[in-house]
Amino acid sequence: MKITVVGTGYVGLVTGTCFAETGNDVVCVDIDVNKVNKLSNGQITIYEPGLEKLFERNLKEGRLHFTTSLAEGAKHGEVIFLALPTPPGEDGSADLSYILRVADDLGKIIDDYKVIIDKSTVPVGTAELVQAAIAKHTTQPFDVVSNPEFLREGVAVDDFMKPDRVVIGTRSERARKVMGELFAPFVRQGNPILFMDEKSAELTKYAANSFLATKISFMNEIAILCEKLGADVDMVRRGVGSDDRIGKRFLFPGIGYGGSCFPKDVQALVKSSEDANYNFKILNAVMDVNERQKLFLMPKISAWFDNDLKGKHFALWGLAFKPNTDDIREAPALYMIDALVEAGATVAVFDPEAMANVKRLIGDKVTYAANQYECLTNADALVIATEWSVFRTPDFEKIGNSLNNKLIFDGRNLFDVSRMEELGYHYESVGRAA
Active site positions, annotated: 261
Kindly state whether residue 391 participates in binding ligand UGA, applying the rule CB under 6 A: no
Identity at 315, one-letter amino acid code: A
Cβ closest to ligand UGA, residue 149 vs residue 410: 149
Q: How far apart are CA 56 and CA 40, in angstroms?
A: 10
Q: How far apart are CA 300 and CA 309, in angstroms?
A: 12
Cβ closest to ligand UGA, residue 107 vs residue 411: 411
Kindly state whether residue 259 participates in binding ligand UGA, applying the rule CB under 6 A: yes
Q: Does 136 belong to an annotated binding site?
A: no
Residues 6+ apart with CB under 8 A from 157: 14, 18, 48, 49, 50, 51, 54
Q: Which of 66, 296, 314, 321 binds ligand UGA (CB under 6 A)?
A: 321
125: which strand partners?
Answer: none
Stretch that binds ligand UGA, among 160-168, 255-263, 281-289, 309-317 (CB under 6 A): 255-263
Radius of gyration (C-alpha) of the chain in whole angstroms? 24
Kindly state whether residue 292 participates in binding ligand UGA, applying the rule CB under 6 A: no
Residue 320 CB, shortest distance to ligand UGA, in Å, is 9
Kindly state whether residue 250 participates in binding ligand UGA, applying the rule CB under 6 A: yes
What binding mask, one character per residue, do residues 127-166 give for ligand UGA by CB under 6 A, x or -? ----------------------xxxxx-------------
Buried/exposed code over 299-337 (b: 16+ C-beta within 10 A; e: otherwise): eebeebbeeebeebbbbbbbbbbbbbbbbbbbbbbbbbb
Q: Is 255 helix (H, G, I), strand (E, B) or coil?
A: coil
Q: Is 219 helix (H, G, I), strand (E, B) or coil?
A: helix
Residue 335 CB, shortest distance to ligand UGA, in Å, is 12
- Using CB under 6 A as the binding criterion, the count of chain residues that bind ligand UGA stands at 20
Q: Which of 12, 77, 169, 258 binds ligand UGA (CB under 6 A)?
A: 258
Residues 6+ apart with CB under 8 A from 394: 372
Residues making up the binding site for NAD(+)? 30, 35, 86, 121, 153, 264, 329
Residues near ligand UGA, by CB under 6 A: 121, 149-153, 209, 212, 216, 250-252, 254, 257-259, 261-262, 321-322
